[in-house]
């Protein structure tokens, strides 16, 4: 049995072989947001060795998840993007991220937030039921990171970058999770300085309902 394989004829085992290697899931996460160059990926994945990134990209390309594309002149640079097969992971990864978010406490000092991770996090926590009848554009700012979410028709589109015409712009601190988990109310978040707003301040309550982190289920069996 070759290393890194499981020797089982099983769809889940195959999926684990393709994406179970270190950094693999996070590479796909970042490519779900947008195609990227090698260096962009490196920047979004602090700590990844270049050799590992190169190896993963080759493996993912071999598995039909990622494809390498040379941009037309004058750029001639190389971008990595998901194939159709790779894009089918969006739903799975969004659900997986929603599950994992329940295990998030408050951020530790050494934990960072990246723009791409935050985009996927907002897609993960989005609740279509809570968004029914809501039509609004949010801008979210966390330090250097800026992203926008357009909610309409019970769907959401989340992208990196500012939204100049946002209905509500939220400048948030690291405690944003507590608001999304319902551990503090929008009013408390404002009072404690967890968020600072500009725009239609009433929309903060909608935001907290639409982008929601569930609690971990109670302990036993």
Partner DNA sequence: CTGGATCCCTCACGATACTG
Partner DNA sequence: CAGTATCGTGAGGGATCCAG
Q: How far apart are CA 77 and CA 89, in angstroms?
A: 26
Which one of residues 62, 64, 77, 132 is an interface residue with DNA (CB under 7 A)?
Answer: 77
Task: For 65, list phi and psi in degrees, rounded to 5.
Answer: -95, -40
Which one of residues 40, 43, 52, 81 is an interface residue with a second copy (CB under 8 A)?
Answer: 81
Check residue 10 and report its DSSP letter. Answer: -
- Binding partner at 64 among DNA, a second copy, none, C-beta below 5 to 8 Å by kind: a second copy
Does residue 68 bind a second copy (CB under 8 A)? no
For the bound state, the minimum distance from the C-beta of residue 200 to a second copy, rounded and expressed in Å, comes to 28
Does residue 81 bind DNA (CB under 7 A)? no
Q: Which residue has the tokens 């988990």?
A: 181
- Binding partner at 99 among a second copy, DNA, none, C-beta below 5 to 8 Å by kind: a second copy
Inter-residue contact 37 to 57 (CB < 8 Å):
no
The pair of structure tokens assigned to 211 is 């982008």
Inter-residue contact 32 to 49 (CB < 8 Å):
no
Residue whose CB is less far from DNA, 6 or 141: 6
| Helix axes 89-101 and 24-33, enclosed angle (nearest 10) | 110
Does residue 47 bind DNA (CB under 7 A)? yes
Task: For 133, list phi and psi in degrees, rounded to 5.
Answer: 80, -5
Does residue 55 bind a second copy (CB under 8 A)? no
The pair of structure tokens assigned to 191 is 């009072």
Does residue 51 bind DNA (CB under 7 A)? yes
Inter-residue contact 148 to 137 (CB < 8 Å):
yes
Does residue 42 bind a second copy (CB under 8 A)? no
What sign does the CA torsion over 195, 200, 205, 211 have? Answer: negative
For the bound state, the minimum distance from the C-beta of residue 36 to a second copy, rounded and expressed in Å, comes to 14
Which one of residues 89, 115, 156, 184 is an interface residue with a second copy (CB under 8 A)?
Answer: 89
How far is the CA of 112 from the CAs of 47, 56, 143, 191, in angstroms? 11, 22, 11, 25
Taking CB under 8 A as the rule, which mask of x and - marks residues 9-38 in contact with a second copy? xxxxxxxx-x-x-xx-xx--x---------
The pair of structure tokens assigned to 184 is 């503090």
Contact set with DNA (CB under 7 A): 1, 3-4, 21-23, 37-40, 47-52, 54-55, 57, 68, 77-79
Contact set with a second copy (CB under 8 A): 1, 6-16, 18, 20, 22-23, 25-26, 29, 46-47, 63-64, 67, 69, 81, 83-85, 88-89, 91-93, 95-104, 107-108, 110-114, 117-118, 120-121, 124, 174, 213, 216-221
């Amino acid at each position: 049995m070759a290393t890194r394989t499981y020797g089982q004829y099983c769809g889940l085992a195959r999926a684990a072989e393709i994406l179970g290697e270190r950094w693999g899931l996070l590479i796909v996460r970042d490519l779900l947001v947008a195609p990227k160059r090698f260096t962009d990926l490196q920047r979004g994945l602090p700590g990844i060795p270049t050799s590992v990134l190169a190896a993963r990209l080759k493996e993912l390309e071999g598995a039909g998840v990622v494809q390498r594309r040379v941009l037309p002149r004058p750029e001639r640079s190389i971008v990595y993007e998901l194939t159709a097969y790779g894009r089918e992971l969006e739903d799975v990864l969004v659900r997986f991220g929603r599950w994992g978010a329940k295990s998030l406490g408050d951020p530790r000092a050494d934990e960072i937030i990246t723009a791409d991770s935050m985009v996927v996090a907002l897609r993960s926590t989005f609740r279509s039921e809570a968004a029914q009848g809501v039509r609004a554009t949010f801008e979210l700012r966390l330090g250097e990171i800026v992203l926008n979410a357009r909610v309409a028709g019970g769907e959401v589109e989340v992208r990196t970058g500012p939204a100049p015409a946002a209905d509500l712009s939220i400048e948030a601190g690291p405690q944003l999770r507590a608001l999304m988990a319902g551990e503090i109310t929008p009013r408390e978040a404002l009072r404690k300085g967890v968020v600072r707003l500009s725009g239609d301040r009433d929309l903060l309550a909608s935001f907290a309902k639409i982008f929601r982190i569930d609690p971990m289920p109670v302990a036993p069996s």
